[in-house]
Chains A and B, each alone.
Chain A
Amino acid sequence: MAIRLDPEGNETRELFRLFDDFAGKSILEIGAGDGRLTWRYAGRTARVTAIEPDAQRFSRSVANRPGNLKQVGFLNIDLTTFAAHNTEKFDIAILSWSL
């Protein structure tokens, strides 16, 4: 067997216990890594913009994308550069182990 990350689902269980108002919302995920957390909540949202500055992790996030989650846009960019060019305002920002 390979490495297993949080097979117990503790991360999303605690996240959804504390906050579960994702329906219809626009999300900005900062430091999305390989998309592990993104794919776990994205199905509950209207739209996700996920940014990740590391090129290798970004590539894995795109490769790992589930076929049914078309509402997620992944960008290989850092927060400062993204903010300088972005004009959209989001309902929710997620700092995914990235502060």
Chain B
Amino acid sequence: MHALETIRSLLKPGGVLIDLRPDGHPPEFWGYAGEDPILLGYLDETDDFVEYRQAAQAMEEAIENRWFQPQKRGEFDFVIHADSLEEMRDYLATEWTDAVIPDEVWSNARSWKPDRVALREVVHIGILQTV
């Protein structure tokens, strides 16, 4: 059974589905030296791109099948802050296991010596209602 059809079966008539997921663009590493942020590069995700594409396709199917009707949509920046790129690497190793910090990002961090780093990801929110 389609996961979204299962979810629909768990909702009351007229129930609401709130769908939060990354928009699929590579997350950005930013370095902060003083107040000015510097783009260090992009996170390399090995598996997630496929999953994001599959998720978008699954939602399109659910709408085509009239399980859900879109009501509203928006997006926001989800930002993870760390005091160093090493601290960010350790966090990703446990929480985002398919992600790799590319050599370019390490090289830029060594050159610019940021005081802290941030990983910025754009996240989509969809509000849908059962049909």
Give A contacts to B, CB under 8 Å.
1, 3-8, 10-11, 13-15, 17-19, 21, 28, 30, 37, 79-80, 83, 86, 88-99
Do residues A91 and B16 form an inter-chain contact, with CB atoms below 8 A?
A: yes
A37 CB contacts on chain B under 8 angstroms = 20
Within 8 A of A (CB), among B55-85: 55, 58-59, 72-83
Name A95's contact: one of B19, B78, B80 (CB within 8 Å): B19
Do residues A90 and B20 form an inter-chain contact, with CB atoms below 8 A?
A: no
Name A28's contact: one of B4, B10, B78, B123 (CB within 8 Å): B10
Give B contacts to A, CB under 8 Å.
1, 3-4, 6-7, 9-12, 15-22, 55, 58-59, 72-83, 87-88, 91, 123, 125, 127
Assuming the A-B contacts A6-B79, A93-B7, are A14 and B74 also in contact, with contact meaning beta carbons closer than 8 angstroms in the complex?
Answer: yes
Do residues A93 and B76 form an inter-chain contact, with CB atoms below 8 A?
A: no
Number of A-B contacts (CB under 8 A): 107
Do residues B9 and A83 form an inter-chain contact, with CB atoms below 8 A?
A: yes
**29 pairs, A vs B, C-beta closer than 8 Å:** A3-B80, A3-B81, A5-B78, A10-B76, A11-B20, A11-B76, A11-B78, A11-B123, A14-B125, A15-B18, A18-B72, A18-B127, A19-B16, A19-B18, A79-B6, A83-B10, A91-B11, A91-B12, A91-B16, A92-B15, A93-B10, A93-B11, A93-B18, A95-B20, A97-B20, A97-B21, A99-B3, A99-B19, A99-B58
Additional pairs, 8, CB under 8 Å, beyond known A1-B83, A19-B18, A89-B10: A3-B82, A7-B79, A11-B76, A15-B20, A79-B7, A80-B1, A89-B15, A91-B15
Do residues B87 and A95 form an inter-chain contact, with CB atoms below 8 A?
A: no
Shortest Cβ distance from residue A77 to the other chain B in the assembled complex, whole angstroms = 13
Do residues B17 and A93 form an inter-chain contact, with CB atoms below 8 A?
A: yes
Do residues A93 and B16 form an inter-chain contact, with CB atoms below 8 A?
A: yes
Q: In the bound complex, what is the Cα–Cα distance between A1 and B81 (angstroms)?
A: 10
Please indicate which of the listed interface residues A6, A7, A17, A98 has the most CB atoms of chain B within 10 Å of its own CB.
A6
* 9 tightest A-B CB contacts, nearest first: A14-B76, A10-B76, A99-B55, A4-B81, A89-B12, A94-B18, A95-B19, A92-B16, A3-B91
